[in-house]
Structure 1
């Protein structure tokens, strides 16, 4: 692999405490490795990153650094899926689910070093309409939780803010949905949420879908159907313990997932809300995204570091702003 690749940085300025410092750090690290100065593209409210990443690809970038929260990463995933342009994740938000699931460090210098080492991995991408996701799509309670989570609280306490958002909707009524997997016969459920995952880890390091693999050409589906607070507690305890089947949760595996409700439901992709709708139609594009990952000899140490980061919200903010 050529050691000097053209690159671009797609950055969410709201998520980065010091843009000048970030730019200097990245530019100097790349220059020291003999890389040319990267293109610098800031996201906007109107375009959270897809247009910028697509522009970078058109202008000849071979690596795109996504520096922001899950929304920035998802937008770049949508733009780069199906291309040979590599995505490098430099987390700067409170969730950073893709980084946590794939053992990517939250430390800026380490993230840049991963790119320079040249490690690459192709992973699957989930699709909902013309949007793509690398982590999870969901309909129901999980989207309500995201909508109810205060942005200010996320800045101060990180992923723990989602707990307060979740508490507001624990007693909401369940959905009535039909689910079809791989075009098979539809079955009916009354769940609180249905989550379709390419990987399995939620905020705070909780593994909802422990068997999910990002490059197996399949999506893992969790149907959660608690009826009251006691059921919620039992479900959470079962997910944490993982000694067998989890009460009030069914899991499936499929390449296409069709979820239809009798009324419009809140929906999310990779932690970002999309418009409510009566259906969530999900398919998989096998190994569509080229991702920068640690070289095999360094992967274990970096994965350990990233796992520690995902379990401690304060450390996430500290290493991101360092």
Structure 2
């Protein structure tokens, strides 16, 4: 049998345990070109919250009764695909909050344990890492010596953005919730500065950490954090809009006017990682090399068991996580 977490009601604000239910269903049988995967790790991401609302975003909303969307790493236990054998480890972007899933082999990434442990393929070498890689390098286009600011800097995506920017010779300023996270991005991840957005002097401290202004802003949060960065943007600055976690639970918030875009010739670009899958090979080559060389630190916030998924997800949405949120099954 397959234990699954399904959506039973739509959250009003921050999700709660009552929005979900654990069910048991028979295992699905893989068809031609497909495999059955036994999940060993689940990767949680804020994007799942968007799919819980009835309003469409860049992805179709979940129907009530659907298995909740999420990434998974696991072992192939039955294969009807010539490219994968039983015992292979794979990463599935759409594995979901469940113990087993069926997927086409063409939709999976084969995990190489010689490069990194399986859970890292959900973070640094998975969707979070590739989101950071594509968003920063292809859209942010940082140049050596420029200042890069990233919000949610200790999270799965933000931590990777800052470390890649550091490797490219940039000054890196991370914004995070709490002094412990602000210290972590400096002391462990190698950022030049970490700023606690909860501090009453947040805007003043952020400005002081960016004496040459901001050339690239990687946006994961929105709301008041975005508003504090906005006046610091330099002429010709680039803003990469990856996520707006501050607005997922509380609804859309008004932002700065567009005059700054005109006057400072800013480029503001929203992006969805799924539009850039052609970059996967380049990403795995570069990130794999950085990880093996010890240039990338993969911080994980790990809980155990399917029953811990919903509490871990709520903790992540409310800023309680420290690194990529992973559940070991």
Ranked by relative contact order (alpha carbons within 8 Å, sequence separation 6 or more), the top structure is 1
Is the TM value for this pair above 0.5?
A: no
> If the length of structure 2 is used for normalisation, what is the TM-score?
0.26
Structure with the largest fraction of strand: 1
